[in-house]
Amino acid sequence: MLGKTSVSMMVLLVASSSIGISSMHQYVEGQTPPPAATPKPQQPVQKATYVTGTVTRVVNYASSDGKACMAVLQLPSDRPNNLKLKPGELIALLAPNESFCALFGLSKIGKTQILVFIAQKITASSLPRALQADPIIIWEDYDTYRVTRVDM
């Protein structure tokens, strides 16, 4: 005689195996198998760029999703960079959140170099309207990048 628990376990085992079997696709001999999911061609993604530099200016502004900022960064003049820009050139970095802004501010105050940041090139026209309308700084004068990671 089997106990209640054993019978319950057997019923569950049979039920789960029949569910598994019924969910398998069976096709008739001679029928072509269902087409495999073809991967969609992906749009080429611009690779992120690893760069180092010194923050010379930080401009904070209010954005719809919280505090954000733009930082002006000077590339090292004594070594080449992988942005294909002249050594020592100034670039603008869009920092999308408050923590990046704080790091840029601290770097400027402490006159420390940002060891590595990862960024993707953007156009000045893709900047938030508050920055595009800035009467003090014309962002189009700078190569502009959106920062996704900062290492100090």
pLDDT value of residue 84: 83
Predicted pLDDT at 139: 81
Tell me the per-residue pLDDT of 83-99, one tens digit each, with 9 for 90 and over. 888 889 999 999 888 88
Mean pLDDT in residue range 36-60: 68
Give the separation between CA 124 and CA 85, rounded to whole angstroms: 17
pTM of structure = 0.62
Q: What angle do CA 118, 61, 115 make, to 5 degrees?
A: 25
pLDDT score at 90: 93
CATH topology of domain 49-151: OB fold (Dihydrolipoamide Acetyltransferase, E2P) (2.40.50)
What is the reported pLDDT for 23?
46
Whether 148 contacts 76, CB under 8 Å? no
Instruction: Give the E-state strand segments of the chain in sequence order.
Output: 49-63, 66-74, 90-95, 113-122, 143-151
Residue position matching structure tokens 């820009």: 85
pLDDT per residue over 51-109, tens digit each? 788 999 998 887 666 678 899 999 988 877 888 888 899 999 998 888 888 989 999 99
Neighbours of 139 (CB within 10 A): 18
